[in-house]
Amino acid sequence: MAISPETFTTRKRRSFMSPKVNDLSLLYSLLQLTDQISSLNLTNAASFLLNRVSSSTIRKTQLLGVVFEELLRVPNLNPNSVFFLCLEEMYILLHKIKALIEDFSSGSKFSLLMQIETVADNFHRLIGELSTLLDVFPVKQLDLNDDVRELVVLIRKQCSESKPFIGDEQIKLRHDVVTVLDRIKNEIVPEQALLSSIFEKLEIRDSSSCRAEIESLEEEIHNRHEEQSKTDLVALIGLVRFAKCVLFGASTPSQRTVTLRRNQSSELAIPSDYRCPISLELMRDPVVAATGQTYDRVSIKFWMDSGHNTCPKTGQTLSHTDLIPNRVLRNMIAAWCREQKIPFEAEAVTGKFHGGVTNKAAMEATRMTVSFLVNKLKGKDNVNLSVEDTNGVVYELRVLAKTDSDSRACIAEAGAIPLLVGFLDVGSGNLNPSLQVNAVTTILNLSILEANKTRIMETEGALNGVAEVLISGATWEAKANAAATVFSLSGVPAHRKRLGKKKSVVSGLVELARCGPEGARTDALAAILNLAADRDTVARLVEGGAVHMAAEVMAAMPEEGVTILEAVVKRGGLMAVAAAYAGIKRLGAVLREGSERARESAAATLVTMCRKGGSEVVAELAALPGVERVIWELMAVGSVRGRRKAATLLRILRRWAAGLDDRDNEGLSTSTMVTSSTTVVVPTSTTSIAQ
């Protein structure tokens, strides 16, 4: 059996405490609580699955409300300790009943179906507790009329005779779901008629209700602690995704998803400290690596599992692989998300999650879904898709490609990459901007898998297509995701060299970093920084204006700008120093007012420039007002690396003032090139710069 009902347990119960009062206000609270329970609206599907037990419980609660209302009308009510003890226990019990009804009526329909017996047993247990409370309720000691006393006796009798009940129709429906999952697990495509019958009975009748069901199942995963029940929920997600495409057709995202994506792109810039340096997306579970850098847990874990033993950001070797949760940052991100009305919970998963537990039914459902979608794009059903239908299929692939590594592998193996490349051109962007965005984003999501990076690089037209979107994309989102794709692909040294040789890639990144909105600029700057790790590519970055661009963006994005300048100057020789000469004043400003990381990079950049550029560069630095005081301050309060670079910088300035040469000529003879403002040392013919 692919899934067992016994593995499902209800989500962790909330705890409730009764108000610590010893007066009649407790009765008012109870009356209000019974009114709230009576007014709960059950969905039709929830009512169908648990109609008898839920309606019976709500009816008993309504009768209790009548009792509480009559107690408030009793003149000279003389409550005793037993009376109030019963009321306090009833308050807690009714809260549990309310929470149980709210959970199953607003949660996943499939999850409720699979744990229907457990939920019915929970109702029965709570009704049993109510029966016990009514047994000791001091009804005879209270000045109540006969009608109220008889009502209490009636409720107690109904509670004592209550039994858990599940109808045959519900049991059969659950059996049908288990049967479908078993067939999927055994690589048998389920019958469309059976799928349609199941979804109709659960009142899941269109793509939007499927999306809502998937979101509910994903929330259930986060509320579960048992690994087995999590894997079974993952299988249900796979089933709903497959049925969504087969029964209702591929569709574009809901308005909520569009708004969220827009908020996370150009219209709402995510603070740089909240973005993962690897994925460039909002961190959901920030953790600190051995080097002190913070990453999203999923991204850095995947990096390590891929065989890397270095810090992606600093390049330093990791002394250990322990990841320490950054709870302070996580709380800050969660608070920011609440302010921006952005859901914060971690992204959903399909076949694998957490410890790498794989669910066979979920994997096969994903494979069937991918096959169905790719065949649609290939036109195997001899049906020519409209542009809107094509966009829907590509969007579904985009969603799948974001879930996990197995889904990315399935999509690539099914031959989707060449098909996606066909939607990257300007024509597609003009015809349907959303289609171009979905295509390039799907390729970006696929590139996260290491094996797919090579597949993409070897696909004919893929690089040209990404470059075309980078330069002429129909939207900023498309351009930003093209830049992120370059960032992802350039994680492989061989791919980095090849990407750096394409002038269109370099020029597109530089222009996007210079003119795009903040989110797109961040993506472009991250890609440029990755390319700058290759010495041969640095020369092309300099020629493409990356140094001037970095100096320009330094005012608005000092950390990103100065980090790129440091990387380019470090590997770019005197050509890069000459290009960066005009940015010395900006570097001085960052050294004075930037963040700790930005000041550290600024100091390192200035050290490199002074050593490679000679006395003219040192003189320009020395002319900055108060520069020595700023350097002394960095030596006192900066990071370890920042203090070390500041000390070196101070030594260079002192040696220059004493007329001593502290320049590292690196085997180059020099001549001078006069610009409009000053003199810069540039290389001559002794050593050539890579072109």
User: Degrees (nearest 5) of the Cα angle 527, 532, 535?
Assistant: 150
Look at 208 and 226; give whichever has higher pLDDT. 208
pLDDT of residue 178: 93
Report the alpha-carbon distance of residue 509 to residue 528 in Å, rounded. Answer: 7
pLDDT at 269 over 70: no
Confidence of residue 23 (pLDDT cuts 50, 70, 90): low
Contact criterion met (CB below 8 Å) for 374 and 414: yes
Radius of gyration of the chain (CA): 33
Q: What is the pLDDT of residues 111-140, one digit of tens each?
A: 888 888 888 888 889 888 998 888 888 877
Question: Mean per-residue pLDDT for 328-351?
Answer: 67
Over residues 246-263, the pLDDT tens digits come to: 998 877 765 555 554 544
* pLDDT for res 581: 86
DSSP codes, 460-473: TTHHHHHHHHHHH-
In the chain, the N- to C-terminal Cα span, in Å, equals 63
Residue bearing the bigger pLDDT, 207 or 383? 207
Can you list the alpha helix ranges (DSSP code H) found in 137-254? 146-161, 168-185, 192-201, 207-223, 227-248
pLDDT for the residue 16:
53
Instruction: Give the phi and the psi of residue 324 in degrees, each rounded to 5.
Output: -100, 125
Using CA of residue 613, residue 615, residue 621, residue 623, what is the dihedral sign?
negative
What is residue 318's predicted lDDT score, i.e. its pLDDT? 86
User: What is the identity of the amino acid at 586?
Assistant: R
Q: What is the pLDDT of residues 342-352, one digit of tens each?
A: 656 544 444 44
In angstroms, how far is CA 30 from the centroid of its own chain? 41
Q: What is the 3-state secondary structure (H, E, C) of 499-565?
A: HHCCHHHHHHHHHHHHHCCHHHHHHHHHHHHHHCCCHHHHHHHHHCCHHHHHHHHCCCCHHHHHHHH
Q: Please check whether residue 422 is in contact with residue 394, taking contact to mean a CB–CB distance below 8 angstroms.
A: no
Could you tell me the two tokens for 651?
């030594």
Which pLDDT does position 375 carry in this prediction?
92
Residue range 159-211, pLDDT digits in tens = 888 877 777 888 899 999 999 999 999 999 999 999 999 999 988 989 888 98
Residue type, 151: L
Helices and strands, counts by H and E, the chain? 33, 7
Q: Which of 98, 121, 90 has the alpha carbon at shortest distance from 10?
A: 121
Spatial separation of the C-alpha atoms in residues 631 and 402, rounded to whole Å:
45
Q: What's this model's pTM, rounded to 2 decimal places?
A: 0.74
If DSSP codes are grouped into helix, strand and coil, which group holds residue 203?
Answer: coil
Nearest to 512 by CA among 500, 526, 524: 524
> What percent of the chain is predicted at pLDDT more than 90?
23
Angstrom distance (rounded) from CA 194 to CA 188: 13
Give the pair of three-digit tokens for residue 301. 């874990």
Q: pLDDT tens, 466-523?
A: 999 999 999 999 999 999 999 889 888 889 899 999 999 999 999 999 998 888 888 8
DSSP string of 415-468, one letter each residue: THHHHHHTT-SHHHHHH-HHHHHHHHHHHHHHHTSHHHHHHHHHSTTHHHHHHH
Mean pLDDT computed over every residue of the chain: 81
Q: How far is CA 599 from the centre of its chain?
A: 30
The residue among 617, 592, 619 whose CA lies nearest residue 606 is 617
Question: Nearest CA to 133 among 96, 78, 83, 99?
Answer: 83
Q: What is the pLDDT of residues 593-635, one digit of tens each?
A: 888 888 888 898 899 888 888 888 899 888 999 989 999 998 9
Q: How confident is the model at residue 465 (pLDDT cuts 50, 70, 90)?
A: very high
DSSP state, 23? Answer: S
Predicted confidence (pLDDT) per residue in 385-420, tens digit:
888 889 999 999 998 998 888 899 999 999 999 999
| Average pLDDT of span 646-654 | 91
Per-residue pLDDT, 506:
93
Structure tokens at 361: 């039914």
Distance between CA atoms of residues 269 and 242, nearest Å: 34
Q: Side chain identity at 548, as an amino acid letter?
A: H
Q: Which of 74-96 are b and which e, b meaning 16 or more Cβ less than 10 Å from the residue's Cβ?
A: beeeebeeebbebbbbbbebbbb
Structure tokens at 204: 């899941």
Q: How many CA atoms lie within 13 A of 446 on its CB side?
A: 30
Average pLDDT of span 225-233: 76
Instruction: Sheet containing 294-296: give its strands across.
Output: 294-296, 286-288, 324-325
